[in-house]
Amino acid sequence: EDQMKEKLIVSLALLAVFFFWASELMLFKYHFVPDIGRSWQEKNYIYTLMMLVFGIVTLLEWDVLFPDRQDFVNLTPLPVRLRAVFSAKLASFILFVALFSTAMMSLSSVLFSIYLTQWRAESVLLSVRYVFAHLAAGFAACLAVFFAVVLLQVLLAAFLPAGLHKRASIFVRFALIAGLLFLLFSFFAAPSIVGRAFQDLDVLKESRHPFVFRFPPLWFVGLYEVLLGTRDPVFVAQARTAGLAV
């Protein structure tokens, strides 16, 4: 148990430092120029990285997302209601998501708050609002990623025979982790490798291009902006989609 705690603390610390460093690289320019409604593109970059990383983390925990046969055999004789088991598992899911999303977004949220509020107003309330929006939208994004993986596992278990399900799960898990790692390294090296749309986000937003409404990280960027008080119709539509996704 102590070794597991140490590994968890180290993993969370590494994630916090990684996202702090990535945020610093992107936001440094705001030392010299004010944010004139373009910082949502940096938020999209950070949220894309976060969702890719958390997707990999969730897939690494694939085997413990649901009670297995041994858990079922051990729990069934106990005088514990199914509702209690379900509630406990759901609570553990939410705590798992909250733990990792907070670790990834905590230091990053402070940076965003410092860089993006310095040109607007010296207000503690505004800084706190930025931190809250950053953490809340990040948690919602991670929650959507987590339960998308859970849904996939449920569908495999529901529609495949028991023997085939285990082999298919291994293949699907391997393919998804490999694919997400490829996207993560490619996107981190150069976003244009993943898609040229990242080079023209501002133009795509102004023209209401479908990519702006179909790219999942942008849904939660829209939620972020709405939590900050933005009433831009594009961000409102994205925030609505984020709510539906969650």
Full-model pTM = 0.88
pLDDT of 82 reads 84
Q: What sign has the CA pseudo-torsion 88, 92, 95, 97?
A: negative
Is the predicted pLDDT of residue 197 greater than 60, yes or no?
Answer: no
Q: Cβ atoms within 10 A of the Cβ of 228, count?
A: 17
Find the largest Cα–Cα distance for the chain.
65
Tokens 């040229």, residue? Answer: 196
pLDDT tens profile 4-36:
888 889 999 999 999 999 889 888 888 888 877
pLDDT tens profile 136-189:
999 999 999 999 999 998 898 888 887 788 888 889 999 999 999 998 888 777
- Please report, rounded to a whole number, the percentage of residues in the chain having pLDDT higher than 70: 95
> E strand or H helix at 1, and its extent?
none
pLDDT tens profile 69-99:
788 888 888 888 888 888 988 999 999 999 9
Q: Which two tokens stand for residue 144?
A: 């959507």
pLDDT of 207 reads 84
Rounded mean pLDDT, 56-66: 88
The three-class DSSP label of residue 160 is coil
* Whole-number CA gyration radius for the chain: 20
